[in-house]
Amino acid sequence: MKETPSETRTRPTHADLSFQRCISPACGATYGIDEVRVACEKCGNLLDVMYDWDRLEVPASLKVFEEKWARRADPHCFSGVWRFHELLPFAPVDQCVTVGEGQTLLHRCDSVAQYVGLKPGRLLLEYEGMNPSGSFKDNGMSAAFTHARLTGAARAACASTGNTSASLALYCSVSRLMKAVIFVGSGKIAYGKLSQALDFGALTVQISGDFDDAMARVQEVSRELGLYLVNSVNPFRLEGQKTIMYRVLEKLRWEVPDWIVVPGGNLGNSSAFGKAFFELHQLGLIDRIPRMAVINATGASTLYDLVEKCGLRWNRGSPDLETVKQYYQEMDAQQRRASTIASAIEINRPVNLYKCIRALEVCNGLVRQASDQEIMDAKAQVGAGGLGCEPASAASVAGTRLLVSEGLIGPDERVVCILTGHQLKDPNATVAYHTTDQELFNKVLGSHGVSRAAYANRAVAVPNDLDEIIKAIRLYS
Ligand code: F0G
């Protein structure tokens, strides 16, 4: 039926049906969807993107999304983020920015299942390294860019351990919508990631200090210069990252797994996953919520310490703020700084701490820490199992192994580990693990307490002589 002009005028827009809201139930302040904010003006807490689901068209079943597969010539149906537009409808679909993100695999990997102690078929690796910039960040970046475009931003900024900056730089170079300004801790970013930011043409500011220093500075500078901040304090980033879970469900033909295991750094992913499952359950699109395990590196264990040692809980919106304050005071007094080979998650003060503990409440979750030795061994197993990943990603596999050995995950349970970033992001760590050069091993890994490489695949040195080469191949293959 054709609409009359007056009907068109009265139909609610996306701006009427979505808004931003403070995560603190005691505050609950709301803001328009078109406002650029990374914190509540009244109480300083983080913000959520919220929807008036009752007035939106929500699919009756997740199966409805399968219809989009037949329409993949349309970039918004092809996108692994925007084909779920109905579940993050803060902007009209034709305004949503896409560079083809989210074409990921859920890879059944029985060799890694055996390594962690699960039965064949029970371990699945969600391979986010297949994204255009090689990490899961592109899911969130497409959503943040969409919001930035709605607000007319001209420049975007982030602090990063490398992947956010690579993703921001890529979205700027492909879309031409904004200019990228990135802050990185000097010497704190893996070369693969730095090379991306430079190659994509981002203004790269290397500050002396670590990620936390860069994070604090970028917030100041963004306020001062009116730069659009794309770190995961930006609630729109997390809307995009919810879709990682939608794709996991999609590949399981909408069956909910028993566990989601994810590395924890700034805690954007874990927060987004909790929101995704809470909403799906609230909308009646899933009948149960999986458990979630967040895995810290032992050298960057703020979440683990606070949740598992100090007993910090979301407590339905009233977390014990004093515990957190004291923890950070001690951290500063003792000058403890995060240090791990998994540089992507080398973070002291995760900005999404409170959203993450809320997600742990939603998902009956828990936190574990994995040492750099465990992370590097798990990474070698992931590589040998057919999909490579960077060190931080392998924390999910190392953590799963720990939880199986503790009896918390049963061998029959279906577990999805999120492989957050591509193997080529950090070739130094990989080469150092497999090397025969002890000096290189010590420099890159020994300094992080890694003492052996039990799963190393060492290169074979042979003279440039046909007989010797053939002899070596016969001997080793
Ligand atoms: N894995 C990889 C490969 C990452 O790059 C990050 C975060 C994480 C895991 C942690 O995810 O913050 O959602 O808990 N990297 C950020 C960056 C901090 O700047 O690229 P999180």
Say yes or no to pLDDT of 130 above 50: yes
Instruction: Flag whether pLDDT at 6 surpasses 80.
Output: no
Q: In this model, does residue 13 exceed pLDDT 80? A: no
Q: What CA–CA distance (Å, rounded) separates 416 from 397?
A: 9
CA of 131 to the centre of ligand 1 (A): 14
**Residue 14 confidence class, pLDDT cut points 50, 70, 90:** confident
pLDDT at residue 3 above 70?
no
More confident residue, 15 or 95: 95
Residue 140 alpha carbon to ligand 1 centre in Å: 11
Looking from the CA of residue 350, the nearest atom of ligand 1 is 12
List, for residues 184-195, the tens digit of each pLDDT value: 998 889 999 999
**Is the pLDDT at 82 greater than 60, yes or no?**
yes
What CATH code would you report for 137-233? 3.40.50.1100
196 touches ligand 1 (CB under 6 Å)? no
Written as one letter, the residue type at 229 is: L
Q: What pLDDT does 45 receive?
A: 97
Is the pLDDT confidence value at 295 over 80?
A: yes
For ligand 1, say whether the CB of 390 is within 6 Å of any of its atoms. Answer: yes
Mean pLDDT for 363-381 is 98
pLDDT in tens, 424-451: 999 999 999 999 999 999 999 999 999 9
Residue 160's contacts (CB-CB under 8 Å, 6 or more residues apart) are: 166, 168, 182, 183, 184, 189, 193, 211, 214, 231
pLDDT at site 187: 82
Is 105-133+237-429 in CATH node 3.40.50.1100? yes
- pLDDT, tens only, 178-226: 999 999 998 889 999 999 999 999 999 999 999 999 999 999 999 999 9
Tell me the mean pLDDT in the region 282-287: 97
State in Å: Cα 460 to ligand 1 middle.
35
What is the distance, to the nearest Å, from the Cα of residue 284 to the centroid of all Cα atoms in its chain? 26
Which secondary-structure segment (H or E) carries 380?
helix 372-384
76 contacts 96 by C-beta, under 8 angstroms: yes
* Buried/exposed code over 237-262 (b: 16+ C-beta within 10 A; e: otherwise): bbbbbbbbbbbbbbbeeeebbebbbb
Say yes or no to pLDDT of 342 above 80: yes
Calculate what percentage of the chain has a pLDDT beyond 90: 94
| Ligand 1 atom nearest residue 392's Cα | 1
pLDDT band of residue 12 (cuts 50, 70, 90) is confident
Instruction: Tell me the chain's radius of gyration from C-alpha atoms.
Output: 22
Across 306-313, average pLDDT: 98
pTM of the predicted model as reported, rounded to 2 decimal places: 0.96
pLDDT at 8: 46
pLDDT of amino acid 186: 86
Residues whose CB is less than 8 angstroms from the CB of residue 18 and which lie 6 or more positions away in sequence, other chains included: 33, 49, 50, 51, 52, 89, 90
319 lines ligand 1 (CB under 6 A): no
* Distance in angstroms (rounded) separating the CA atoms of residues 450 and 106: 30
Mutation test residue for ligand 1: of 135, 188, 355, the one with most atoms within 8 Å of CB = 135
Find the mean pLDDT for residues 56-65.
Answer: 95
Average pLDDT over residues 353-361: 98
Quick one: what percent of the chain has pLDDT higher than 70? 98
Ligand 1 contact, 192 CB (< 6 A): no
Nearest atom in ligand 1 to the alpha carbon of residue 193 is 20
- Write phi, then psi, for 182 (nearest 5 degrees): -120, 145
Confidence of residue 10 (pLDDT cuts 50, 70, 90): low
Task: Report d(CA 232, CA 164) in Å as an integer.
Answer: 9
Residue range 246-262, pLDDT digits in tens: 999 999 999 999 999 99
Mean per-residue pLDDT of the chain = 95
Cα of 71 from ligand 1 centre, angstroms: 32
Q: Which residues of 411-429 are buried (b: 16+ CB within 10 A; e: fewer)?
A: eebbbbbbbbbbbbbbebb
Q: What is the mean predicted confidence (pLDDT) over 58-75?
A: 96
The pLDDT of 159-176, averaged and rounded, is 96
C-beta 162 within 6 A of ligand 1: yes
DSSP state of 421: B
Would you say 341 and 372 are in contact if contact means Cβ atoms under 8 Å apart? yes
Distance from the CA of 353 to the center of ligand 1, in angstroms? 14
